[in-house]
Amino acid sequence: MPLCAHKRTPTSVFRDISYQNQIGERIKSRLATSTKDSKAFVQNLSLYRRLQAHRGCVNTVTWNDRGNYILSGSDDQTLVVTNPFTANELVKCKTGHRANIFSAKFMPYTGDQEVVSCSGDGYVIYTVLQSTDVCNTANISEFNCHSNSTTYEVLTIPQEPRCFMSCGEDGTVRLFDLRKLSNCHKMCCKENIVIMSPSSITAMCMSPTSQNYIAVGSSDSHIRIYDRRFLSYIDFTSGGDQNTVPVKAFTIPSLEKRPFRVTSVSYSADGTQLLVSYSSDHLYLFDISRNGVDVMPLNDKVKRKMNRHENADPPPVRRLRLRGDWSDTGPNARPEREVMDNGGASTGQVRPILQATMMNRMTEVISRMLADPRTRANLSLLSHLGQQANPTNTDEQRQQNEAGPSSGAPPHPNGSKNARDHDANYTSDDDDDEKPSQQLSDTYQEDMEENINYDYLLMKFTGHRNARTMIKEASFWGDEYIMSGSDCGHVFCWERATGKLVMLMEADHHVVNCIQPHPTLPYLATSGIDYDVKIWAPFQCNDDEEIQHFDEEKAQRLMERNAVMLEETKDTITVPAAVMIRMLACIHSFRNRNRGNIARIDDEDD
Domains of the chain: 25-298+453-555 (2.130.10.10)
pLDDT single digits (tens) 98-134: 899 999 999 999 999 999 999 998 999 999 987 655 5
Task: Name the DSSP letter for residue 325.
Answer: -
Whats the size of the chain, residue-wise? 606
pLDDT at 259: 86
Least confident of 148-157, 284-293, 340-349, 589-598: 340-349
The β-bridge relationship of strands 474-477 and 457-461 is unpaired
Between residues 388 and 415, the one the model is more confident about: 388
Assess whether pLDDT exceeds 70 at residue 307. no
pLDDT at 494: 97
462 burial via Cβ count (<10 Å: 0-12, 13-18, 19+): middle
In sequence order, what are the residues at sequence separation of 6 or more whose Cβ sits closer than 8 angstroms to the Cβ of residue 563? 462, 463
Between residues 74 and 312, the one the model is more confident about: 74
Cα of 488 vs its chain's centroid, Å: 16
Distance CA 230, CA 216 (A): 15
Assess whether pLDDT exceeds 60 at residue 387. no
Count of alpha carbons within 13 angstroms of residue 562, beta-carbon side: 26
Backbone angles phi, psi at 534, to 5 degrees: -110, 135
Greatest mean pLDDT among 325-334, 336-345, 541-550: 325-334
pLDDT single digits (tens) 201-228: 999 999 999 889 999 999 989 999 999 9
Task: Name the DSSP letter for residue 144.
Answer: -
In sequence order, what are the residues at sequence separation of 6 or more whose Cβ sits closer than 8 angstroms to the Cβ of residue 480? 36, 37, 39, 495, 496, 497
pLDDT at 334: 87
Greatest mean pLDDT among 12-26, 130-144, 497-511, 580-594: 497-511
Residues linked to residue 215 through DSSP beta bridges, in sequence order = 205, 225
pLDDT at 294: 80
Residues linked to residue 128 through DSSP beta bridges, in sequence order = 114
CA dist 284 → 219, 262, 263, 494, 512 (Å): 16, 11, 12, 12, 18
Between residues 560 and 321, the one the model is more confident about: 560
Distance CA 56, CA 94 (A): 13
Q: Where are the beta strands (DSSP E) in 18-148?
A: 45-51, 58-63, 70-74, 78-83, 88-94, 101-106, 114-119, 124-128, 140-143
* Terminal Cα distance for the chain, rounded: 74
Question: CA-based Rg of the chain, rounded to a whole angstrom?
Answer: 25
Q: For the residues 178-195, what does the mean pLDDT come to?
A: 88
Distance CA 157, CA 164 (A): 6
In sequence order, what are the residues at sequence separation of 6 or more whose Cβ sits closer than 8 angstroms to the Cβ of residue 373? none
Task: Name the DSSP letter for residue 375.
Answer: H
Assess whether pLDDT exceeds 50 at residue 394. no
How does the average pLDDT of the chain come out, rounded? Answer: 77
Distance CA 81, CA 72 (A): 7
Q: Supply angle C-alpha 445, 250, 315, rounded to 5.
A: 30
Assess whether pLDDT exceeds 60 at residue 594. yes
The helix (run of H) or strand (run of E) holding residue 526 is strand 524-528
Assess whether pLDDT exceeds 90 at residue 157. yes
Cα of 373 vs its chain's centroid, Å: 36
Assess whether pLDDT exceeds 50 at residue 442. no
CA dist 53 → 38, 116, 456, 518, 589 (Å): 31, 19, 42, 19, 48
SS (H, E, C) 98-115: CCCEEEEEECCCCCCCEE
CA dist 52 → 72, 88, 159, 244, 552 (Å): 11, 10, 32, 42, 31
CA dist 85 → 16, 53, 90, 285, 494 (Å): 12, 14, 12, 32, 27
Residues linked to residue 82 through DSSP beta bridges, in sequence order = 70, 89
Task: Name the DSSP letter for residue 134.
Answer: B
Q: For the residues 145-173, what does the mean pLDDT come to?
A: 92
pLDDT band at 401 (very low <50, low <70, confident <90, very high): very low
% the chain with pLDDT above 90? 45
pLDDT single digits (tens) 475-526: 999 999 999 999 999 999 999 999 999 999 999 999 999 999 999 889 999 9
pLDDT at 316: 55
Q: Please count the other Cβ atoms lying within 10 Å of the Cβ belonging to residue 179.
A: 7
Task: Name the DSSP letter for residue 187.
Answer: T
